[in-house]
Chain A
Amino acid sequence: MKSHVSILSCLMVGLIVAAPVFAQDDVRGELDYLKKRVAELEKRLSAQENRTVPMPAYTGKNPSAAALDADIDAEFMNAGSGDQWFNKTSIGGYGEMHMNFNDDADDQIDFHRWVLFINHEFTDNIRLVSELELEHSLSGDGKNGEVELEQAYIEMGLGNGFTVKGGLFLTPIGILNEVHEPATFFGTERNLIEREIIPTTWWEGGLALTKTFEETGWQFDLAVHSGLNVPTVGGSAFRPRSGRQKVSQANANEWASTVRVRYTGIPGLEIASSVQYQSDITPDAAFSEKNDALLTEAHIDFRRGGFGLRALGAVWSVDGETPEALGLDEQWGYYIEPSYTFTFANGNKLGFFTRYSQMDGARGEITQWDAGVNYWPIDNVVFKADYSNVEVEGGDTSDSINLGIGYHF
């Protein structure tokens, strides 16, 4: 009897001790089972999300395939947008602040340009492009700056590579006139030639037709638009830059036309030439002399790897006794700008450039050297530092160190 009691006691003690162990094993088993099920479900869910389904052949004969095609096209046509007006309207902009340390004038800091683009797509092939600019930070009576409408045109795609635009647009001349976001060029200040000979930023009102040949890289532009109205006396007489009317109640007695041929058919290369004819750049009735003028421009912009080269030449031929007497019947200028840009592993870029410019125009005979550096932490933001040496024939030589910050989005 005693031995039976002992055996029973042992069994009971054994069961009591073993029970939690059995329970733990059960829980572990349950957990393993659940883990396995969750993994299976995750796999099935993932497979379902990334499933592949058969698509009909794109024969064009199967109506359901055609409907599917239409769906696909509609989906991507509206990529990133919808039917609401705000989805068809986009904004962008750029800005640049400059600091100039001058050896013969006061040092200066200036938020030179703050620009806002507002574009709107009315339909797939009719759109509005507009650009509003605040120059020198402050505008108004007696202030240094201006609020300017630099672009506002309606562009229509006509098919077969033809595009027409009407309104206020940038004239298709030079490298910087149409593309001048600060992160896209070297130097804090824009170059001398595309300031004095080609009065960048230069916009006029009118109509323009563009034909592009995408397969070969050719582009042809023809624009008919308002023209310059240059002063005829004083220090700025016959200076193209002083003749910009900015489409502000502008004299439209005389018109101008611009033709451009552009070739970009080789990687990294752009070669272009523009010719502009104006029947009279002094259209004011008060000045009776007729001064028809022809501007001829050509440039090359080449980039291969880190190496870059920009070179541009432009010349004005102005008819009439007054410009001839002032020695301004021929105004010309050119520059050449080699550069090298290093790209680092983190995407930062550091570029070095030098530029030699020479011109003869309303501001005299000028030779300018620039050299400096651009640093891009990202493609949309640039920090600039450069040195300029300007020599005016028969006049002063001046030096400056320039710093700049620029962005676009």
Chain B
Amino acid sequence: MKPSAFIASSFKGKPQAGALTLSKKMQVEIKRFIGRAYSPAKVRYWTDGTRTAWILSEIGKTKPITTGYVVAKGKIERVQVLIYRESHGWEVRQPFFTRQFSGAGLDHKAKLSKRIDNISGATLSVTALTKMAKLALYLERQRVGS
């Protein structure tokens, strides 16, 4: 699914586009979720006021996996893998896998509030999607707070 199609299908009306600039302080906290500072430091989002779509990229085995996350009221509502560049681990694109994230929030230990079952042979891709889910929840918190 193209990123534009993901945004269009995530909202009934027209969303507002914005960008969150990651401060040094935010990047320090982001390291807790993804193990490194996130790049680009200006992250785009789309929102209708109550629900926000974030499109993030994270390395699976050797290539970035671009994934869309919709966050509402501090919880993941939808996850969709948009661009998958790896030759293995495609199973993370399956709905049964991405549905697991629905309803997941972020607890005070920087962990997801729901257990995400792994996929055999796709461990690295699963890890990447889980990291991005935490990041999306964190970014949404920052956006609402800003």
A298 to B83, CA, bound (A): 31
Cβ of B18: which chain A residues have Cβ within 8 Å of it? 50-53
Contact of A80 among B3, B5, B15, B64 (CB under 8 A): B64
Closest chain A residue to B14 by CB distance?
A57
B interface secondary structure, majority: mixed
A interface, CB within 8 angstroms of B: 46, 49-58, 68-70, 72-73, 75-77, 79-81, 90-92, 117, 119, 121, 127, 129, 155, 175, 178-179, 184, 212, 214-215, 217, 264-270, 301-305, 345, 378-379, 408
Cβ B17 vs Cβ A214 within 8 A: no
For the complex, is B102 an interface residue (Cβ under 8 Å from A)? no
Extra A-B contacts (20), CB below 8 Å, given A55-B15, A270-B119: A49-B20, A52-B16, A52-B47, A69-B2, A69-B5, A76-B83, A77-B83, A79-B64, A79-B83, A80-B57, A119-B62, A175-B121, A179-B88, A212-B90, A214-B90, A264-B121, A266-B96, A268-B117, A268-B119, A301-B121
Return the chain B residue nearest A46 by Cβ.
B146
Interface residues of B (CB under 8 A from A): 2-5, 7-8, 13-21, 35, 39, 42, 44, 46-47, 55, 57, 59, 61-64, 66, 82-83, 85, 87-88, 90-91, 93-97, 100, 109, 111, 115, 117-124, 127, 143, 146
* Chain B residues with CB below 8 A from A117, complex form: 61-62
Partner of B121, one of A52, A77, A265, A270: A270
In the bound complex, residues from chain B placing their C-beta under 8 Å from that of A92 are 61-62
Total A-B residue contacts, Cβ distance less than 8 Å: 133
User: A179 contacts B115, CB within 8 Å?
Assistant: no
Residue pair B7, A267 in contact (C-beta under 8 Å): no
A58 CA / B10 CA spacing, docked (Å): 11
Knowing A56-B14, A76-B3, A90-B62, say if A178 contacts B121 (CB, 8 Å): yes
Which of B87, B93, B123, B127 has the most C-beta atoms of chain A within 10 angstroms of its own C-beta? B87
Distance in angstroms between the alpha carbons of A58 and B8 in the assembled complex: 6
Select from chain B the residue with minimum beta-carbon distance to A346.
Answer: B109
- Cross-chain contact B13 with A268 (CB below 8 angstroms): no
Closest Cβ of chain B to A96, distance in Å, is 16
Please determine whether A264 and B91 come into contact, CB atoms closer than 8 angstroms. Answer: yes
Contact between B62 and A79, CB atoms less than 8 A apart: no
